[in-house]
Amino acid sequence: MPSKVRSSGKGKGKSGKGKGVGSKQQSRSQRAGLQFPVGRIARFMRGGGFARRIGAGAPVYLASVLEYLTAELLELAGNAAKDNKKQRIVPRHIMLAVKNDDELHRLLGSVVIASSGVLPNIHNALLPAKKKKKDKKLSNSQEY
């Protein structure tokens, strides 16, 4: 009686869909071309109790959105640091980047960033009044 060999689905098997010899493991972040950890985000999504089941594409999508937002914020904060002639991004630069960008301000407008200060703003009523230029007309004595 021939013995039946059951395949657990891992390895190459007869289907030929397994990993070839010499191929290395690739993380989901590497496959998606991302820097943010897809596996860790998937674990947080499963443990967070947001839904009973999490699709395979959901953590990849969330990681890509988070990576984009982070890159956008860091670019604007780096520009703010460069404007202030600094090499290092500090919380003040992040706050300036958020407040001066319309879309980021809409997203993070109610967020308080510690030790970031306030936007430089002077109310118009406190500014000195501008003097109006008067048209100087020549008096009659100076006319010829």
- Weakest-pLDDT range from 7-21, 46-60, 126-140: 7-21
Task: Name the nearest CA neighbour of 26 among 44, 38, 41.
Answer: 38
- Of all residues in the chain, what percent carry a pLDDT higher than 90? 66
The predicted model gives 92-108 an average pLDDT of 95
Residues 63 and 66: their CA atoms lie apart, in Å, by: 5
The pLDDT assigned to 106 comes to 97
pLDDT-derived band of residue 120, with 50, 70 and 90 as boundaries? confident
Taken in order 59, 61, 64, 70, the sign of the CA dihedral is negative
Q: Using alpha carbons only, how large is the chain's radius of gyration in Å?
A: 31
Please give the mean pLDDT across all residues of the chain. Answer: 86
Distance of CA 66 to the CA centre of its chain: 6
Instruction: Report residue 100 CA to chain centroid gap.
Output: 15
State the DSSP H helix or E strand holding residue 38, giving kind and residue range, or none if neither. Answer: helix 38-47
Q: State the pTM of this model.
A: 0.71
